A = this chain, B = another copy of it.
């Protein structure tokens, strides 16, 4: 099941990091931009080919030290169907290199429509008779605003296909408080969402974790501690480290007492590390930054006395 696969991959790399694959055309390395512009002109084809090549080299370079990647749908959608084709090619490359793939789409809708999203990312779509898998990632992020019947179709597919979801609880952005921190019976909305996730859990794997995870921003360590106490068996997908300002120490409340149960995301700081490391090619720079992040998390886990390896 998904939670076991993820925890095992974290053990194998001794690294609870996930790299966000958020390709922004203007941040791609100039060499790659120029090469593709010369070949294909200033076109969507050129940009999407450059993105896939960028992702492939990063994925190849980091495969022994990073357990999981998280492509962000928005950056592919902004290039239309060719962007979605690049998203599919990125997923295929990531799976071939052995990564766990978490699609960041924050999808949700009413029940029947949520079922179509669940099929798209985690399950199967029936054509005329044959079934296909559109994206076939390991997990996807899900928005909870519509309640149980919007989430249930994802959970069904998780159970059938051994996949996972991460439900938004407390997000990393500054204005997350506006709705998520509203007080309901002296408890913020995000703790009510955590209580719903507790209700939705459908069992845990051999490694002790559920495949119904939570998104909890590293920028809110106190809130993370509260959510962890309600959801001891959920894996937390943790954005906010690095470019958004949270430190490795800030992420510690997301882990359990054994140093498991959280995976910390970094996107721009890893992908575009080449900008800070002038004498290195972009993939080596990304590896360098990823190793730095791993060491940073190791140091924090050790000083929190929960280093598991």
Contact = CB atoms under 8 A, between A and B. Distances in A.
Interface residues of A, number: 77
For the complex of A and B, 10 pairs with smallest distance between CB atoms: A147-B175, A147-B178, A74-B116, A80-B134, A78-B120, A110-B173, A81-B85, A81-B84, A77-B120, A148-B175
Contacts of A304: none
A61 interface: no
Counting every copy of the chain, the complex holds 2
Contacts of A146: 168, 171, 173, 175-176, 179
A126 B26 contact: yes
A210 interface: no
A83 to B, nearest CB: 7
26 contacts: A24-B116, A25-B125, A26-B126, A42-B129, A43-B130, A44-B132, A46-B127, A77-B117, A77-B134, A78-B117, A78-B120, A79-B120, A80-B132, A80-B135, A81-B88, A110-B172, A110-B173, A110-B244, A143-B143, A144-B145, A147-B178, A147-B180, A148-B175, A150-B175, A179-B189, A182-B184
A250 B135 CA distance: 39
A109 interface: yes
Nearest to A185: B183
Interface of A: 22, 24-26, 33, 37, 42-44, 46-47, 72, 74-75, 77-85, 87-88, 104, 106-111, 113-114, 116-117, 119-121, 125-130, 132, 134-135, 143-150, 168, 171-180, 182-185, 189, 192-193, 196, 239, 244
Nearest to A133: B80
A134 to B, nearest CB: 4
Contacts of A147: 173, 175-180
Tell which of A80, A119, A180 has the most Cβ of chain B within 10 Å. A80
